[in-house]
Amino acid sequence: MQKSATFILGSRGNVPTGGLKIIYEYANRLARNGWTINVVYPATYCADILSWWRRMRMRFHYFRLKIFKLYLPTVWFEFDPRVNMIWVPNLNERYIPDADFVIACPVLSAMFVLSYPANKGRKFYFIQGFEDWTLKKEDVEKTWKFPLRKIVIAKWLQDIANNLGENVVYIPNGLDFSFFKVTVPFKNRPTHSILFISHVLELKGTRFAIEASKKLKALYPHIIIRTFSAYSKPANFPEFIEFHQNPSQESIRKLYNSSSIFLSPSLSEGWPLPPAEAMLCGCVVLATDIGGHREYIEDEINGYLCLPGSADPIVERIEWILANKNKAEKVSDNAPDSLRRFDWDSRVKLFEQALLSG
């Protein structure tokens, strides 16, 4: 008998994020396995709390995006046509389709899923990070204690859940080995070439990457530093850093393959995709020593780790990498094979098992 599941998202999906990409991959692959899959996008969480004027503006926003399908990730992700993409005014139960399973994704969707009647499906919570940038720590923890069956993507998230007395299923992310791969050998790339992602969230550590870039530019005037972002270039962004806004997936792969070092300076990550994608493309990855990075990076084996929260450890480690090219090349060679266990087929099987046995 065909099974059905509904993923409850937090907003439209036009801006690329790693968390959305993982959800979309599950949606596509479950649909290919014969599931009926719904992906629900709300224009707002709850219109009832808005003023009359805000409700009118939200209604206009809702219909404009619905007519032109601006809620879809058309420019950065290709959906299987069998996936039902549903744009709704808010997350009231009347807008949610009936299914066998309903899956809360961002933290704010969990309280809505908790309230849904049984016909919306058995209730799950897909946890991709500790979202204390959205709610206070204690409020996030409250959602983790909701009577929803929980799936986490990282061991450090599993540890938090266990400390809260919650049982969870641990399923690390999958990677696309057919797309992200080495097209330019490491030895043929400019040694002094660095790539990082710019983000508006403080916890992504972009300011530390910029501070480190300025120091490295002073030490190595001919260094090449690039960044890409889903957001506009800030007005005060250093001119010497090459800025790529909303590049295509093909362009991102080219950026990885034209860089020797990929920098991930985050203060917190669930199970981050970009450093892993960069590793598959042969970059030497320098990442902060946090739980999300430790999911797949072993220091001096398949990448390098440094202390978070400062530019100085980044500069020191990059200077060492530049001075030890042979060791760096060996790390680059080790990186792709070290990630082979994160194949998508096994992830989807585990996800199906978690739903069906939950």
Tell me the pLDDT tens digit for each residue of 334-353: 999 999 999 999 999 999 99
Helix/strand/coil for 123: strand
Q: Which residues contact 155 (CB under 8 A, 6 or more apart)?
A: 170, 291, 295
* Domains of the chain, residue spans: 4-174+343-357, 186-338
pLDDT score, position 62? 76
pLDDT score, position 71? 84
Per-residue tokens: 340:
């082979």
Helix/strand/coil for 134: coil
- pTM check: above 0.85: yes
Q: What is the average pLDDT across 293-318?
A: 98
Give the whole-angstrom CA distance, residue 235 versus residue 242: 14
- Identify whether the C-beta of residue 77 lies closer than 8 Å to the C-beta of residue 25: no
Does 250 have pLDDT greater than 70? yes
- Identify whether the C-beta of residue 83 lies closer than 8 Å to the C-beta of residue 337: no
Give CA torsion, residues 158, 159, 163, 164, to 10 deg: -30
Length of the chain: 358
Amino acid at position 162, single letter: N
pLDDT score, position 175? 98
Q: For 4-174+343-357, which CATH superfamily applies? A: Glycogen Phosphorylase B; (3.40.50.2000)
pLDDT score, position 149? 98
Task: Write the pLDDT tens digit of every residue in 83-130.
Answer: 999 999 999 999 999 999 999 999 999 999 999 999 999 999 999 999
Does 182 have pLDDT greater than 60? yes
Does 49 have pLDDT greater than 60? no
Give the whole-angstrom CA distance, residue 18 versus residue 21: 5
Tokens 């972002």, located at residue: 229
For the chain, give the percent of residues with pLDDT over 70: 96
CATH 3.40.50.2000 corresponds to the domain 186-338: yes
**Cβ count within 10 A of residue 309:** 12
Tokens 């010497």, located at residue: 240
**Cβ count within 10 A of residue 150:** 24
Give the whole-angstrom CA distance, residue 117 versus residue 279: 44
Lowest mean pLDDT, pick from 48-62, 161-175, 262-276:
48-62
- What's the pLDDT band for 329 if we cut at 50, 70, 90? very high
First to last CA, the chain: 18
* Same fold: 4-174+343-357 with 186-338: yes
Does 65 have pLDDT greater than 90? no
- What's the pLDDT band for 54 if we cut at 50, 70, 90? low
